[in-house]
A and B are shown apart, each in its own frame.
Chain A
Amino acid sequence: MTPYVEILPQILETLQPFTKEGQALAEETELVSELGLDSMQVMQVLLKIEDRFDISIPLNNLPTIRTVKDLGLEIEQLLKN
């Protein structure tokens, strides 16, 4: 099982290419409204996350994921099961 603290840096690394120049990235960064990811970029991020952690994020859970932290906790949960 991978704990959240180990997941977080991997998410930040995955998100790095999607940030604007000089944009800070932290736990509380909002994926859509702050990073400005459009629906296709969200799909690319999810693909990278799914492949990296070998998980499948259920579609139903997307609406509750707003921030980097939410995403990390979701991954942690999926890895537990």
Chain B
Amino acid sequence: MTMTPTVTLHSLPLNPGNFPTLSDALDYASLGETGCNFYSGRGKLAHVLSYKDLQIQAKNLAKKLNSLRLDRGARVALVADTNPDFIRFFFACQYAGLTPVPLPISLHLGGHQAYVTQLRRLLESCCPSVAMAPEGLVPYLEEASQGLGLSLIGGPEIFASLPEDESQLCPLAPHELAYIQYTSGSTRWPRGVEVTQAAVMTNLAGIIQNGLQVTAGDRCVSWLPFYHDMGLVGFVLGPIASQLSVDYLSTRDFAMRPRQWLSLMTKSQATISFSPSFGYELCVRRLGEESPEQFDLSHWRIAGVGAETIRAESLLRFSSTLGPSGFRQESFLACYGMAECSLAISFAPLGQGLDVDQVDGDCLSNEKEALPFIASLSSEENGRCSSFVNCGVPLPGYEVEIRDADGFALGIRKSGTIFVRGASIMSGYFNDPATTDEVLSADGWLNTGDIGYWIDDSLVIIGRSKDMIIINGRNIWPQDLEFLAEQQPEVRPGDSSAFSVSGPDGEEMAVMVIQCRDSDPQKREDLVKRLRALVYQELSIPCYIELIPPRSLPRTSSGKLSRSRAKIDFLSRVQWDVLAPMLSAS
């Protein structure tokens, strides 16, 4: 029998996310005929999971989990591969009163130890009672959880063989945690965002009703990882809360064959799909000479873009390249959000495409004021023009302030740190009150760490968590790079500074500047080589390492190392033509 994907249209009336909990949302979706569909990297439909079947299977699995007699709210760690098992387990936890914790899959060439170490740090952080991984990844999970006292670790089959507990299921209530979401922050110091049912349901309703204005007939496609807030909340929970069918491609398959995303959009006539800018870039880059007419993207109503700084020029390259496929530039929907707010904070207005604000870059750097860029007649007087994408008005019910360094709210076109308050803000970081206190005030304001400014009532984001390094869509924390440097006997704490710069070809690259006392050329070269290899091994990125004399890293007036100034210094002395050959293959 050939498999058929779940339908787009069905007779169940659309409820746009008005549910008290995730299990209520699934209970309602199970009355219809929609569901999720999983495609292989070569475009073949591999699994179909209707919401009706998902509900039955998740409840059944919940009873099996209950036979383990875990405490209410106990954590269930789930290695989040793009497959039906993850969704079954996630919802089994909802019905059983347990807290699912999606864990990342980061499998790189030669990266066995790095992945085990990463998993172990996450397990130590969330203290789960049980843990599940796809069968092939169980050995990693077992190795990572040695000595942590979990009561059961295994693949889906081990859990399926548990006896069913006969007692009544008692699903998670609105005030209880819906899940713990690890931020894409530092891998060394993981932070687990606690999101209650009430929080995620509020955010989902805002996304569905205001941000996307979902209607019957919408359909989603996603290749975003299930352990990422946009992949999980946006494209697993969102479709269930709005009873939409969704077609999945795994992240790895997308990265390998980006055009499968466009093929799937064509085949399923999906209307909603999101990606960081990098995903759109990758499509254009890898499409090469291929004809865009082979795709039909005319149904694509919302091409969402967020998760990293939005690069308008790469998106416009996508829309002009894919124009012949029927893709409309107006479909681009810029948005802003983060796991600490469940997912979304603001959306640009629908159907209008990108609104790019051009400002005087020098004035923004020096005066922290985003004044419109005005080209003067003589080109010598022209300053630097910086372009940023307008991310729209915050969702109803959310307060947003842009504050200066002293905490005062700023007016329009003044750049500062973005603070948010609203019903979907996290309760805190799991088991980490100190870090929670750093970002969440007693009266509910979240310091996002992001920098932006207002244009009237719309938010413009200048940069994400100001020091974050983003390479090929992956967030790399400078602290993680600096830690590796400081593990070397030649390097002391405070001797290194990591940041990213736009390389000669316009792509972001990681750079680490290190104060080095040693003058022996051989020893210096040895340090650079060793560190580069270590960075590859741990983070799978190339990193340019520069050694500078002691006491030459710039510090702020309060004596702290300044990564932004180290970056400016680096850019002022770097000679790209000397550097380029060294970077040519990386």
| A residues adjacent to B (C-beta < 8 A) | 18-21, 23, 30-33, 35-40, 42-44, 46-47, 50, 56, 58-60, 62-66
**What is the CB-to-nearest-CB distance from B544 to chain A, in angstroms, rounded to a whole number?**
11
Whether B109 sits at the interface, judged by CB under 8 Å, is yes
Closest 6 CB pairs of A and B: A60-B136, A63-B112, A66-B110, A20-B585, A36-B586, A33-B533
Asked if A62 and B111 sit within 8 Å, CB to CB, the answer is yes
* Closest partner residue, chain A, to B584 (CB atom): A20
A33-B536, A39-B541, A65-B109 known; 14 other A-B pairs, CB under 8 Å? Answer: A32-B109, A36-B542, A37-B109, A37-B586, A39-B472, A39-B474, A43-B256, A46-B256, A58-B136, A59-B107, A60-B136, A64-B112, A65-B110, A66-B109
Asked if A39 and B540 sit within 8 Å, CB to CB, the answer is yes
Chain B positions 528-552 with a Cβ under 8 Å from a chain A Cβ: 532-533, 536-537, 540-542
* Closest partner residue, chain A, to B258 (CB atom): A43
Can you report 8 A-B residue pairs in the complex whose CB atoms are below 8 A from each other? A18-B585, A20-B585, A32-B109, A37-B109, A46-B256, A47-B257, A63-B110, A65-B109
Provide the bound-state CA to CA distance between A58 and B41, in Å.
Answer: 12
**What is the CB-to-nearest-CB distance from A33 to chain B, in angstroms, rounded to a whole number?**
4
In-complex Cβ contact of A38 among B252, B472, B537 (8 A): B472
Provide the bound-state CA to CA distance between A30 and B529, in Å.
Answer: 14
Whether B105 sits at the interface, judged by CB under 8 Å, is yes
The answer to whether A42 and B108 touch (CB under 8 A), given A33-B533, A36-B542, A60-B137, is yes
What residues of B have a CB within 8 angstroms of the CB of A32 in the complex?
A: 108-110, 536-537, 540
* Closest partner residue, chain B, to A65 (CB atom): B109
Asked if B107 and A62 sit within 8 Å, CB to CB, the answer is yes
Asked if B256 and A47 sit within 8 Å, CB to CB, the answer is yes
The answer to whether A40 and B255 touch (CB under 8 A), given A30-B110, A32-B540, A62-B107, is yes
Asked if A38 and B471 sit within 8 Å, CB to CB, the answer is yes
* Closest partner residue, chain A, to B257 (CB atom): A47
Q: What is the size, in residues, of chain B's interface with A at 8 Å between Cβ atoms?
A: 33
Asked if A39 and B108 sit within 8 Å, CB to CB, the answer is yes
What residues of A have a CB within 8 angstroms of the CB of B347 in the complex?
A: none
What residues of A have a CB within 8 angstroms of the CB of B227 in the complex?
A: none
Asked if B537 and A33 sit within 8 Å, CB to CB, the answer is yes
Whether B282 sits at the interface, judged by CB under 8 Å, is yes
Q: Tally A-B pairs: CB < 8 A.
A: 84
* Closest partner residue, chain B, to A45 (CB atom): B109
**What is the CB-to-nearest-CB distance from B140 to chain A, in angstroms, rounded to a whole number?**
8
What residues of B have a CB within 8 angstroms of the CB of A18 in the complex?
A: 585
Asked if B282 and A40 sit within 8 Å, CB to CB, the answer is yes
**What is the CB-to-nearest-CB distance from A44 to chain B, in angstroms, rounded to a whole number?**
8
Chain B positions 234-288 with a Cβ under 8 Å from a chain A Cβ: 252, 255-257, 282
Asked if A62 and B585 sit within 8 Å, CB to CB, the answer is no
The answer to whether A63 and B111 touch (CB under 8 A), given A36-B586, A46-B256, is yes
Provide the bound-state CA to CA distance between A33 and B536, in Å.
Answer: 6
* Closest partner residue, chain B, to A34 (CB atom): B533
Whether B115 sits at the interface, judged by CB under 8 Å, is yes
**What is the CB-to-nearest-CB distance from B269 to chain A, in angstroms, rounded to a whole number?**
26
Provide the bound-state CA to CA distance between A58 and B257, in Å.
Answer: 15
Chain B positions 326-340 with a Cβ under 8 Å from a chain A Cβ: none
Provide the bound-state CA to CA distance between A22 and B282, in Å.
Answer: 28
What residues of A have a CB within 8 angstroms of the CB of B105 in the complex?
A: 59
**What is the CB-to-nearest-CB distance from B511 to chain A, in angstroms, rounded to a whole number?**
15
What residues of A have a CB within 8 angstroms of the CB of B115 in the complex?
A: 63
**What is the CB-to-nearest-CB distance from A61 to chain B, in angstroms, rounded to a whole number?**
8
**What is the CB-to-nearest-CB distance from B93 to chain A, in angstroms, rounded to a whole number?**
24
Provide the bound-state CA to CA distance between A62 and B105, in Å.
Answer: 12
**What is the CB-to-nearest-CB distance from B477 to chain A, in angstroms, rounded to a whole number?**
16
Asked if B541 and A31 sit within 8 Å, CB to CB, the answer is no
What residues of B have a CB within 8 angstroms of the CB of A38 in the complex?
A: 471-472, 540-542, 586
What residues of B have a CB within 8 angstroms of the CB of A37 in the complex?
A: 109, 586
What residues of A have a CB within 8 angstroms of the CB of B537 in the complex?
A: 32-33
What residues of B have a CB within 8 angstroms of the CB of A30 in the complex?
A: 110
What residues of B have a CB within 8 angstroms of the CB of A56 in the complex?
A: 41
Asked if B472 and A40 sit within 8 Å, CB to CB, the answer is yes
What residues of A have a CB within 8 angstroms of the CB of B136 in the complex?
A: 58-60
What residues of A have a CB within 8 angstroms of the CB of B252 in the complex?
A: 43, 59
* Closest partner residue, chain B, to A63 (CB atom): B112
Provide the bound-state CA to CA distance between A63 and B108, in Å.
Answer: 5
**What is the CB-to-nearest-CB distance from B387 to chain A, in angstroms, rounded to a whole number?**
25
**What is the CB-to-nearest-CB distance from A69 to chain B, in angstroms, rounded to a whole number?**
12
What residues of A have a CB within 8 angstroms of the CB of B114 in the complex?
A: 63
**What is the CB-to-nearest-CB distance from A63 to chain B, in angstroms, rounded to a whole number?**
4
Provide the bound-state CA to CA distance between A27 and B486, in Å.
Answer: 33
* Closest partner residue, chain A, to B251 (CB atom): A59
Asked if A63 and B107 sit within 8 Å, CB to CB, the answer is yes
Encoded as 1 (CB less than 8 Å from any A CB) or 0, chain B from 56 to 93 comes to 00000000000000000000000000000000000000
